[in-house]
Amino acid sequence: MSELKKADLLKAYRTMREIRDFEERVHKEFATGKIPGFVHLYAGEEAVATGVCMHLNDDDRITSTHRGHGHCIAKGVDSIGMMAEIYGKKTGSCCGKGGSMHIADLEKGMLGANGIVGAGGPLGCGAALAAKFKGKGGVAVVFFGDGASNQGTILESMNLANIWNLPVIFLAENNGYAESTGVKYNVPTPNIADRAAGFGMPGVTVDGNDFFAVYEAAGEAIKRAREGGGPTLLECKTNRFFGHFEGDAMTYKAPGEVKRQREECDCLKIFAAKVTSAGLVTAAELEAIDKEVAALIDEAVEKALAAPTPTEADLLTDVYVSY
């Protein structure tokens, strides 16, 4: 069990808090009508992105989904740039040309949120292939959901990763819903990890609401990949508090389900309770982080609202490097 020092615990909490506050704020701001297009919020799943990405550095790559804000923040993408991007402003991470579903920061190894379900599978294999050629022990993590677990690209990618022994981790975030359809309907035995055996790699399921369980299992999978042991399928069972997209009334969820999840399955609450009762971190220290993050998110929104929009000249740029 990789020893987590106090600094690591504080970092973990801060990352999860930043994701949570970012998403809760976007939820509020979206309702004002100032955010264009679609947003898909990650609130409730923070422990997964955080527990995984804490083992990664900038040379490791991740591919993501339409629900990518959490992966971005956990991988070190700047929240202020992200917020501006979501508002479609010129100062955004992608100069306002990508939006919520396409936020990327290649320098931080974040190969982009993706509007195509399952598209990250092959891209992640490519990143892992590049890492293999580079020979420095870099890995790739493919985040995908229970919905994507049926997409041909994911199944093909698992096969490819196996036969080429790629340093890639297939990270299944099973939040129980693929849009409005439950995983019980879409997946025959609703444990995505069960598919791993068919692709010749270990398949593990952990509680995605427990940061420590995710951190441990992801750490082992990443270590295995770095050492040339090949791919792993790691399934984290979690929950999303919001709808598939903002505006989704969530009528497919049972009454009281989200309320119960926010009370009993909130990874931030669970984490805070554990670390404070173990005496490793004080409630005051966590509150200080809460304040700091709240201020950061406020700043991000203010800056996003004030930032300029892209101009006509920006419309035609960066289609190609040269044409």
Question: Does residue 69 interact with another protein by CB under 8 A?
Answer: no
Nearer to another protein (CB atom), residue 32 or residue 189: 189
Nearer to another protein (CB atom), residue 28 or residue 134: 134
Question: In the bound complex, what is the minimum distance in angstroms from residue 292's beta carbon to another protein?
Answer: 25
Residues 293 to 322 in contact with another protein, rule: CB under 8 A: 317-322
Residues 212 to 231 in contact with another protein, rule: CB under 8 A: 212-213, 215-217, 220-221, 224
Question: In the bound complex, what is the minimum distance in angstroms from residue 144's beta carbon to another protein?
Answer: 13
Angstrom CA distances, 93 to 81, 100, 319, stand at 5, 10, 17
**CB neighbours of residue 136 within 10 Å:** 9
| Residue choice 10, 11, 150, 164 for contact with another protein (CB under 8 A) | 164
Q: Per DSSP, what are the bridge partners of residue 142?
A: 63, 170
CA dist 173 and 64 (Å) reads 11
Tokens representing 232 are 């792993």
- Per-residue binding letters, 80-99, with another protein (x by CB under 8 A): ------------xxxxxxx-
Question: Does residue 65 interact with another protein by CB under 8 A?
Answer: no
Distance of CA 155 to the CA centre of its chain: 20
Question: Does residue 4 interact with another protein by CB under 8 A?
Answer: yes
| Residue choice 254, 278, 284, 313 for contact with another protein (CB under 8 A) | 278
- Per-residue binding letters, 244-273, with another protein (x by CB under 8 A): ------------------------------
Nearer to another protein (CB atom), residue 204 or residue 250: 204
Nearer to another protein (CB atom), residue 48 or residue 206: 206
Question: Does residue 203 interact with another protein by CB under 8 A?
Answer: yes
Nearer to another protein (CB atom), residue 19 or residue 222: 222
Of the candidate spans 14-22, 185-193, 247-255, 288-296, the one that interacts with another protein by CB under 8 A turns out to be 185-193
Round to the nearest angstrom and report the end-to-end CA distance of the chain.
Answer: 52
- Per-residue binding letters, 118-137, with another protein (x by CB under 8 A): -x-xxxxxxx-xxx-xx---
